[in-house]
């Protein structure tokens, strides 16, 4: 357990991190069949051109398995940045990455940024 400076401790085992329309959840392992992906961008902004990305490119690795994306933070922490959101620090570990989706009568679609 980690304390975030407030009165309640945070359980890092399944911690969730939200950064705009990107959601990350700590996981125990990445699927064996996952493939390495080049770069540090978690989501591109289709409307604004801004992107959710990791500042420290040398300390992380992105992985893909089908339509799923994973992030491996190899150093003590990594900074997730975006021009319209406050930066957040992600502790070392493995994460599943999702883009927020919204319901439309004909389908669920990823939110455009």
Instruction: Supply the pTM of this predicted model.
Output: 0.74
- With cut-offs at 50, 70 and 90, classify the pLDDT of residue 101: low
The DSSP bridge partners found for residue 65 are 68
Sign of CA dihedral 88, 62, 52, 16: negative
Mean pLDDT for 74-98 is: 89
The DSSP bridge partners found for residue 79 are 89
The CB density around residue 97, as the number of other CB atoms within 10 Å, is 20
d(CA 43, CA 110): 10
Which structure tokens are listed for 83?
Answer: 């021009």
- With cut-offs at 50, 70 and 90, classify the pLDDT of residue 64: very high
Alpha helices in the chain (DSSP H): none
Most confidently modeled range among 29-38, 77-86, 102-111 = 29-38
- Give me the pLDDT at residue 10, please: 52
The predicted-structure confidence for 19-47, as pLDDT tens digits, reads as follows 677 889 999 999 999 999 999 988 876 65
The DSSP bridge partners found for residue 105 are none
- 76 and 91 Cβ atoms separated by less than 8 Å: yes
- Give me the pLDDT at residue 110, please: 46
The CB density around residue 54, as the number of other CB atoms within 10 Å, is 21
Which structure tokens are listed for 100?
Answer: 């927020």
């Amino acid at each position: 357990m980690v304390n975030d400076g407030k009165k309640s401790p945070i359980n890092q085992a399944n911690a969730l991190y939200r950064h705009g329309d990107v959601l990350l959840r700590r996981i125990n392992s990445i699927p064996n069949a996952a493939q390495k992906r080049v770069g540090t961008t978690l989501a591109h902004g289709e409307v604004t051109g801004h992107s959710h990305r990791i500042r420290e490119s040398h300390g992380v690795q992105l992985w893909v398995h089908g339509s799923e994306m994973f992030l491996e933070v190899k150093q003590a922490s990594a900074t997730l940045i975006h021009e319209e959101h406050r930066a957040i620090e992600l502790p070392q570990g493995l994460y599943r990455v999702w883009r927020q989706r919204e319901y439309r009568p004909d389908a669920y679609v990823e939110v455009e940024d």
